[in-house]
Amino acid sequence: MVSELDSKRIIELLEEIDSKLDKLDKLDSVISYLHFQAFTQLKKVVPKILDTPEKMIVYDACDGESGIREISRRAGIVPMTVSNYIRKFEAYGIVISRLYKNRKCPMKIVDLEDIGIQVSGKEVKKVKEESSESREGVLS
């Protein structure tokens, strides 16, 4: 049988958990807002940073689960070049590195398709731009 003291402690813990969940919901909202704000800037900046098809292919391969060697092999680009590109991408803040299965794996912060660039294999294509009106209509 649960004592009155234990019951009170359980209730306190549940209230604490509920409070933390509320804070996480607010944090998710803030992250979504920041992502939306950054999207316009990313759409302008990323194509300037990824100024060659080779850089676009390397960036697109940054899935957060593949290391430099895997990206190099997949892209058909020497590992040192891939490593140099990724270092530059990290410096610009368009790639973050995370640990995945105990190794450092770069992860892109935005999909190229989301900003109008399509990469399939070793081919890069511009995707037809959506009109700004259609994007704004989503928000209305």
List domains and CATH numbers for the chain.
4-129 (1.10.10.10)
Which residues neighbour 49 within 8 Å (Cβ) at sequence distance 6 or greater? 55, 88, 89, 92, 94
Nearest-angstrom CA–CA distance, 38 and 26: 18
pLDDT in tens, 18-28: 888 888 888 88
* pLDDT classification of 123: cutoffs 50, 70, 90: low
**Is 134's pLDDT higher than 90?**
no
* pLDDT classification of 121: cutoffs 50, 70, 90: low
pTM of the complete model: 0.63
pLDDT in tens, 7-20: 888 888 888 888 88
Q: Which residue has the higher pLDDT, 79 or 111?
A: 79
**Is 139's pLDDT higher than 60?**
no
Round the average pLDDT of the chain to a whole number and report it.
82
The pLDDT of residue 133: 39
**Is 64's pLDDT higher than 60?**
yes
Q: Per-residue DSSP letters for 24-68?
A: HHHHHHHHHHHHHHHHHHHHHHHHHHS-SHHHHHHHHT-BSS--H
Q: Is 116 exposed, middle or buried (0-12, 13-18, 19+ CB in 10 A)?
A: middle
The pLDDT of residue 6: 80
**DSSP one-letter code for 130:** P
Q: Which residue has the higher pLDDT, 33 or 121?
A: 33
For residue 56, what are the CA distances in angstroms to 60, 65, 117? 6, 18, 9
**Is 108's pLDDT higher than 60?**
yes
